[in-house]
Chains A and B, each alone.
Chain A
Amino acid sequence: MPIAAKFEIEYLQYMDAEGKLVREDLPEFARDTKQMVELYKLMVSTRVFDTKSIALQRTGKLGTYASCLGHEATHVGIGSSLKPEDVLAPSYREYGAQLYRGVRPRDVYMYWGGDERGNDYVNEPARHDFAWSVPIGTQCLHAAGSALAFKIRKEKRVAVCTIGDGGSSKSDFYGAINVAGARDLPLVAAIVNNQWAISVPRKIQSGARTLAQKGIAAGLACIQVDGNDIIAVKKAMGDAIERARKGDGGSVVECVTYRLGDHTTADDARRYRGKEEVEDAWKKDPVKRLRAWLEASKAWDQKREDAWQAECDEWMDNEVNTYLETKAQPVTAMFDYTFAELPADLVKQRDEAMALEKGAH
């Protein structure tokens, strides 16, 4: 029988769970020890930030929070692959990517702490990125729309969306990669496959052997990488982004990782997954393996680790304090951004709400 078309999905890994190299053809950035140390430091600070966030929630100082424990290599790998002028459309867990782009920990605390100002990122390049998108998968189309805007304006920019394994089941994801493939849009969809969509495991999301291969149907370049190996993530993402920038089309990059924590602080993962599975996943910890590699390369040691941990603690404490000291917005703020200019009826309602605040009624 003649073959109409044939496809395969490559798997990329440079560093195993022990931090040992499994291939020698390291990308250039990985040979730059200084840069690798910087990436490692951000992975550590992301974890310190995450630990702090959960503690804040447990002590009633933060609302429901979605932990990023275990995703540090994937998130920092993605975030560090974009150029400043590119656009990131994240879901709601990619703090490592966002911190790299200039989102401050206090912004994240503000958002999960019930204050929209957390989405008003002040630092570039995050300032032109999308805010957290809670309805699953919907952000993929925002990235596709950004990519279309770039193409129409002939800008050499790339739009990147992140999406979970569960999110890759959504029509928005399929729609985004489909239009990107049909029109060669500079879109890179990074699937953060952390094995669990709340309680539903990866195998129930899709019968596809890889999630990366979903991109084949859309005509995109596809690859699966070890999402706990930051070198693999950054290499695959970097290649995909530069390919898109050159006008050679979009990509799907599946980063295989593991959600070491609960879905959110409102979830209890013990209800649906075994202890052994989680213990096994901890053996593949992305932070531990990069540290092992850096230490073997004499680029890192316990002393530097302790110093950086202390620095992160201080940084996060400072961010937490700033967040906790921030007063709630005035009640008028909940009206003020509904339209560019408030319609007369809304001005009346705003006045009414203000009067209630002042105890006039």
Chain B
Amino acid sequence: MAAITLIEAVTQALAYEMKHDPSVVVLGEDVGVNGGVFRATQGLSEKFGEWRVFDTPLDETTIAGVTVGMAAQGMRPIAEAQFEGFIYPMMEQIVCHAARMRNRTRGRLTCPAVFRAPWGGGIHAPEHHSEANEHLFTNVPGLRVVLPSSPARAYGLLLAAIRDPDPVIFFEPKRIYRQYKEEVPDDGEALPLDVCFVLRDGTDITLVTWGAQVKETLEAAEQLAKEGISAEVIDLATLTPLDFDTIAESVAKTGRCVIVHEAPKTAGFGGEIAARIAEECIYDLLAPVVRVTGWDIHTPLYRLENKQLPSTARVVDAAKKTLAAG
């Protein structure tokens, strides 16, 4: 078994599910012969034909609306927004229809669709190609928001997302698309949705993060370890519905928590986690919860974009201050 990158794991999951379920189709811009601008759908058109790997006209509204229609009539469509910054025209269809089709019709019609998008900054891309906007979806009832952070989790979570009977936003952290390879068996085994993954056990502090920021957070935990600080690292993986129990258990053990995310701070999803900790675990805390996030600004063009992404040093610094605080 060859080791594969995160983007190859996405392709592997799409191919597996398309092979085993004829109702699964992929649609979007350039997903066909070109295999997607990041090559997520590489080779699928040759394998499954132009109707199941469907190049749409260049209109995101069309992609999203057609996806809702197909899903309501028995297909399992996987729509691709070419970049997360182009998902906004899709939002009306996602919020007004995909997320509420089941509720509106009391379960008569449903929307088992996946909306995939390369997500986040750090690849020196033009404007609108580098956003962290997951928080715009986490407040929408009826939606799942999933962000894998490794090849194995990309494979297992995407399979789960496709099989899920409800709509899923599947954001793929493009900065780590090809960061490293790992062996991912193509066995069709899905990972559970709605579950956080504890990537590193620790006893002194809990570091909560998701997406590409898992990389810096794990690096920070490694640096802290060298200084004798034992950090637990939790990858949310599914932001909503949130598995808060895993966070609560960790905070009960460590009494300290730093939340790391790339999106702007105000009303970012870190605020929800901090609020839940305040509501449900405040007596476990030995120090205030700290958020290390992007600033409340638009993602800068690429000469400055790394100043927006939380660095390993910022995470380490925040952890140390938290440890010193109580």
- A interface list, Cβ under 8 A from B: 87, 89, 116-117, 119-121, 127-128, 130-131, 133, 135, 138, 140-152, 159, 171-172, 175-176, 178-179, 182, 333, 337-340, 343-346
Contacts and interface: CB of A to CB of B under 8 A. Distances in A.
Nearest to B243: A344
Interface string B137-176: 0000110000000000000000000001110000000000
Interface stretch (B71-79, B128-136, B210-218): B71-79
Given A120-B108, A135-B96, A138-B93, A339 B102 contact: yes
B67 A145 contact: yes
Contact of A149 (B56, B74, B164): B74
Contacts of B108: 119-121, 127, 131
Nearest to A183: B54
A147 B77 CA distance: 14
A340 B144 CA distance: 12
B66 A179 contact: yes
29 contacts: A117-B106, A120-B106, A131-B105, A133-B97, A135-B92, A135-B97, A138-B92, A141-B65, A141-B69, A142-B72, A144-B65, A144-B66, A144-B69, A145-B73, A146-B70, A148-B54, A148-B69, A148-B70, A149-B69, A159-B69, A172-B62, A175-B62, A178-B59, A179-B62, A182-B57, A340-B102, A340-B110, A343-B241, A344-B241
Contacts of B104: 116, 119, 131
B305 interface: no
Nearest to B97: A138
Interface in B99-139: 102-110
A207 B259 CA distance: 54
B324 to A, nearest CB: 33
A32 B165 CA distance: 46
A338 B25 contact: no
B61 A141 contact: yes
A179 B54 CA distance: 11
B50 to A, nearest CB: 9
B222 interface: no
Interface residues of B, number: 46
Interface of B: 25, 51-52, 54, 56-57, 59, 61-62, 64-75, 77, 89, 92-93, 96-97, 102-110, 141-142, 164-166, 194, 241-242, 244-245
Nearest to A175: B62
A146 B57 contact: no
Given A120-B106, A128-B73, A182-B57, A345 B65 contact: no
Given A138-B97, A146-B69, A339-B241, 19 more contacts: A116-B105, A117-B106, A131-B104, A131-B108, A138-B96, A141-B64, A145-B68, A148-B54, A149-B70, A149-B75, A152-B51, A152-B52, A171-B61, A172-B61, A175-B59, A176-B65, A338-B141, A338-B142, A340-B102
A87 B70 CA distance: 12
Contacts of B51: 151-152
Contacts of A119: 104-106, 108
A150 B23 CA distance: 11
Contacts of B52: 152
Closest 10 CB pairs of A and B: A145-B69, A141-B65, A343-B241, A175-B62, A142-B69, A145-B66, A340-B165, A120-B106, A145-B70, A337-B103
A179 B61 contact: no
Contacts of A144: 62, 65-66, 69
Contacts of A131: 104-105, 108-109
Contacts of B103: 116, 337-338
Contacts of B96: 135, 138
